[in-house]
């Protein structure tokens, strides 16, 4: 009785930690519901967009002299 009749698996919902039906009929899988899915995504988005960007890094030291060897038009 631990397995659904359609072969669906019960997984742990990443949102609430509760049981979630991992099947095609569960469009929110692996989440148990849209609420958990939205909550998890909201938390991820709010944290993901706060990643600091190293804008102070100097540009890579590109050797431009390699392009100066052939400046004549064809």
**Residues that bind Zn ion in the complex, under the rule CB under 5 A:** 13, 15-16, 32, 36
Smaller CB separation from Zn ion, 25 or 52:
25
Question: Going by C-beta distance under 8 Å and a sequence separation of 6 or more, which residues neighbour residue 18?
Answer: 12, 32
In the bound complex, what is the minimum distance in angstroms from residue 11's beta carbon to Zn ion? 10
Smaller CB separation from Zn ion, 21 or 36:
36
DSSP state of 9: E
**Which stretches does DSSP call E strand in the chain?**
9-12, 19-22
In the bound complex, what is the minimum distance in angstroms from residue 44's beta carbon to Zn ion? 15
């Amino acid at each position: 009785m631990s397995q659904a009749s359609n072969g669906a698996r019960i997984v742990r919902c990443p949102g609430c930690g509760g049981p979630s039906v991992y099947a095609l009929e569960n469009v929110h899988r692996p989440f148990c519901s849209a609420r958990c899915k939205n909550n998890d995504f909201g938390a991820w988005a709010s944290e993901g967009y706060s990643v600091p960007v190293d804008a102070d890094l100097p540009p890579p030291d590109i050797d431009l002299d390699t392009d100066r060897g052939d400046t004549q038009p064809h």
